[in-house]
Amino acid sequence: MSQLQTPIWAKDVTAHQKVSTFTVGRDKEFDILLAEADIYGNLAHTQMLESIGLLTKQELQAVHTELKKIYSTVIDGTFKIEDGVEDVHSQVELLLTRTLGDVGKKIHSGRSRNDQILLDLKLYIRNQIFETVDFVEQLFTQLQTLSEKHKHVLMPGYTHLQIAMPSSFGLWFGCYAESLTDDLQLLLAAYAITNQNPLGSAAGYGSSFPLNRTMTTQLLGFKTMNYNVMYAQMGRGKVEKTVSYALASIAATLSKMAMELCLFMNQNFGFVSFPEEYTTGSSIMPHKKNPDVFELIRAKCNRLQTLPIEISSITTNLPFGYNRDLQIIKEHFLPAFQELHSCIDLMIVMLQNITINSNILDSPMYNYLFSVDEVNNLVQQGMPFRDAYVKVGLDIKQGNFTPDKEARHTHEGSIGNLCTNEISEKFTHIQQQFDIDFVTNALQCLLKS
């Protein structure tokens, strides 16, 4: 086991080896994901320190030059947290101190690791939210395309998993497209909570330095800041939980769609099929074409739906101020984005290769799908609804019901009027509220400073 270097926060006592190992935990493994965000935070913080006289212009230039070199190693994948270094913040400060000496030791002025990690998390989460928006948009577009392409292909609708009323593949695909608009709305709310600058809150009680928090807010492209420094620290855990609810909402949409596709591929349904290379086989049954991709999407997304509960359990009734319990959240929260993105990506790939059975309703088992339409036809001819309902019910019971298998639904959102454009407009309106270009420009300017 490697020896830990003396932590940057240590004084004249070295922590017991087992205590150090246990408290560091898996931080190094997950802090690599935060390295880019840590560089951005250091660039903004040191620029602010220069503005209030805690760094000279020459020192700032030297620090920024070295930070940008470190940034390059993060981007090319060669950055690492060395053995014995406990986290990404310590590694960056160590690299600066090796190169710049005492100047490197100045960069932590007015900061605590508490607001430093909270800032890194928010910057990382914000970027991951942007990537999630992109993945969701791709899936939404694929669903809308399929909805329009197959809008005239009828299929059975179900209630209680019993044959109920006529539906269509246009309606089915469009259903999940519109579900994503609500998921995106929830993600937008989580983004608004994330996109607030905590830097300058230090350990949760501010600083006696005259920090310019407005300046770092602008440099990092945040919409606003968490003004109350104590509340800024309370945001640790709350931000992750809020974002995880949004991720869980997207996951719920994917999981439900995956479940239905498993059913639709079943030979007893036979609604859809996929090329053999997109399915898996059996070790003893040569005819099998298993929906493993959808089963794994279902399982992974169901697990993602437990994440808010896990975070809630960790954070429930923690006392005010920072508590080390919060470190554990990173282990499951940070990988959740990649897990969700991979599920969305595979769902898109599968949908790009789906084949629709356009003759489902030829089977007589679906004749009764049109019983409600027949009741409605009688009502339009003047018969009271209750009388029409009884008549059609008796015709079915006596074997006298002959369906007209043409759905004539015209109201908004029905089989014959999917409102695809309106759903797209709703999605676009939500999507445009993520100020991705503004944030991207702010960070690019910071790198050029």
Q: What is the pLDDT of residues 104-125, one digit of tens each?
A: 999 999 999 999 999 999 999 9
Q: Which two tokens stand for residue 31?
A: 């802090």
Q: Which fold has domain 125-152+167-199+228-362+429-436?
A: Fumarase C; Chain A, domain 2 (1.20.200)
Confidence of residue 1 (pLDDT cuts 50, 70, 90): very low
Q: What is the pTM of this model?
A: 0.92
**Catalytic residue set:** 160, 282
pLDDT digit string (tens) for 317-333?
Answer: 888 878 888 888 999 99
What is the mean pLDDT of the segment spanning 25-49? 91
- CA–CA separation, 416 and 170 (whole Å): 9
**Phi, psi angle pair for 73, to nearest 5°:** -70, -30
Measured in whole angstroms, the distance separating CA 169 from the mean position of its chain's CA atoms is 27
- CA–CA separation, 358 and 365 (whole Å): 16
SS (H, E, C) 301-356: HHHHCCHHHHHHHHHCCCCCCCCHHHHHHHHHHHHHHHHHHHHHHHHHHHHCCCEE
pLDDT over threshold 60, residue 389: yes
Report the pLDDT value the prediction gives residue 83, as an integer from 0 to 100.
87
Q: For the chain, what are the domain ranges?
A: 17-105, 125-152+167-199+228-362+429-436
Please, are residues 385 and 180 in contact by the beta-carbon 8 Å criterion?
A: no
pLDDT digit string (tens) for 274-328?
Answer: 999 988 887 788 888 889 999 999 999 999 999 999 999 999 988 887 888 888 8
Confidence of residue 386 (pLDDT cuts 50, 70, 90): very high
Q: Which CATH architecture has domain 17-105?
A: Orthogonal Bundle (1.10)
Report the pLDDT value the prediction gives residue 26, as an integer from 0 to 100.
72
- CA–CA separation, 363 and 372 (whole Å): 18
- Residue labelled with tokens 């935990």: 25
Report the pLDDT value the prediction gives residue 6, as an integer from 0 to 100.
55
Confidence of residue 2 (pLDDT cuts 50, 70, 90): very low
What is the mean pLDDT of the segment spanning 85-103? 94
- Percentage of the chain lying above the pLDDT 70 cut: 94
What is the mean pLDDT of the segment spanning 32-40? 96
Q: What is the mean pLDDT of the chain?
A: 92
- Residue labelled with tokens 């993105």: 341
pLDDT over threshold 70, residue 11: no
Report the pLDDT value the prediction gives residue 105, as an integer from 0 to 100.
94
Judging by DSSP bridges, how do beta strands 154-159 and 162-168 pair with one another? Answer: antiparallel
pLDDT over threshold 60, residue 63: yes
pLDDT digit string (tens) for 230-253?
Answer: 999 988 999 999 999 999 999 999
Confidence of residue 8 (pLDDT cuts 50, 70, 90): low
Report the pLDDT value the prediction gives residue 257, as an integer from 0 to 100.
98
- Percentage of the chain lying above the pLDDT 90 cut: 82
Q: How far is CA 315 from CA 147, 309, 326, in A?
A: 42, 10, 7
- CA–CA separation, 236 and 377 (whole Å): 59
Report the pLDDT value the prediction gives residue 18, as an integer from 0 to 100.
72
Report the pLDDT value the prediction gives residue 5, as an integer from 0 to 100.
52
pLDDT digit string (tens) for 127-139?
Answer: 999 999 999 999 9
pLDDT over threshold 60, residue 439: yes
pLDDT digit string (tens) for 204-217?
Answer: 999 999 999 999 99
- Residue labelled with tokens 């855990």: 237
